[in-house]
Structure 1
Amino acid sequence: MASSSSSNIFQWDFTLLNHASFHSYSRGLFLLLIFFTILFFVIILSLYARWLCSHRLRRRVSAAAAGVSSSGLDRDSIDSLPIIILQTNSNGKGNKNKCNYIEESECSICLGVFEEIEKLKVLPECNHAYHSECVDKWLSSQSSCPLCRASLSPVIAPSNHA
């Protein structure tokens, strides 16, 4: 009897196999395969879109670096701006007032206070004053006043008579 019970353990009973559950399992596997295929294509499509956007951005940056489009002023225009030397005037009471047409007491680019006998550049459109070095750096990349954004492109024309 012991030998017959041990032989029953390794025997398969194929009559108990339910074909209906096998069919639903294969349907679930098929739906899972479709889901992962769609997910794969969405990921590939998003990676391609990201690559395409970065490729276009790189082309724009390289075109700007090649000098196709620059928003700053050229060196001659920047050098044609008037340079003044800041001097203070003493009135009778001993108060010192800045120049008559300069209202600022500090450079709005570097936030440094204007000192006596200092070179300043005054922008012709708006009369805002800045340290000469500060505004030169600014105008090499921007063509407007740093404070009020007044455009300097039509005002400044390089001198062609030399």
Structure 2
Amino acid sequence: MASSSQQSQPFDGHFTVLDDTQFHIRGRTLFFVVVLFTVVLLVTVLLLYARWVCHSHPNTSSSSNTPPNAPPQSQPKGLDPTVIRALPIVLYHQSVRDLEAGGGGGECCICLGVFGDGEKVKVLPNCSHSYHSECVDTWLATRSSCPLCRAQLQAQSTTT
């Protein structure tokens, strides 16, 4: 009989009884919950608005005076191939000062290769910087400036 009395008694564990009558949100806690919810909501709305603005107006800039239906302006292009071919090619000669200083001679700042005595180099007209012909031709096909000092060579291409 003792075993039947043990089985008939209900288990009095605090985990089985869900009593939420003592759970109340009051005062400061309620205020902080409302403020936190409002902040999260505002940040979400601002991020969605920023995303919408970026996706709906991708080509706007503050300095652009082009009409909205105009095609986007392309980046500055390189020189015309005939202008690139017309640049002077000279034979490189080491100066006496370079030899006395122990230097290996001039250097192509594009490939970082050292010019050998008697090697053909291309000289840019505005700044007189020298480069290997292949190196500077590739550069000038996409840009219209000196690789070293950024002197513009565009004026040369408009005269031809």
- With the length of structure 2 as denominator, give the TM-score of the two structures: 0.56
Which protein has the bigger helix share? 1
SS for the counterpart of 1:124 is coil
Partner of 2:138: 137
SS for the counterpart of 1:146 is coil
SS for the counterpart of 2:122 is strand
Distance 1:52 1:157, change over 3 A: same
Conserved 8 A contact 2:109-2:147: yes
Q: How far did residue 129 of structure 1 move?
A: 0.6
Partner of 1:79: 85
Residues in 1 aligned to 2:97 and 2:34: alpha-carbon distance in whole angstroms: 84
Q: Does 1:38 align with 2:39?
A: yes
Aligned length: 126
| Unaligned segments of structure 1, at least 5 residues | 1-5, 10-16, 90-94, 99-103
Residues in 2 aligned to 1:76 and 1:158: alpha-carbon distance in whole angstroms: 12
Conserved 8 A contact 1:121-1:135: yes
SS for the counterpart of 2:154 is coil
Conserved 8 A contact 2:122-2:136: yes
Residues in 2 aligned to 1:70 and 1:147: alpha-carbon distance in whole angstroms: 18
Matching residue's letter, 2:114: V
Conserved 8 A contact 1:144-1:153: yes
Q: CA RMSD in A?
A: 3.9
Matching residue's letter, 1:82: P
Distance 1:78 1:158, change over 3 A: farther
Residues in 1 aligned to 2:137 and 2:55: alpha-carbon distance in whole angstroms: 32
What percent identity do the matched residue pairs reach? 43
Conserved 8 A contact 1:77-1:157: no
Residues in 1 aligned to 2:128 and 2:140: alpha-carbon distance in whole angstroms: 15
Conserved 8 A contact 1:125-1:155: no
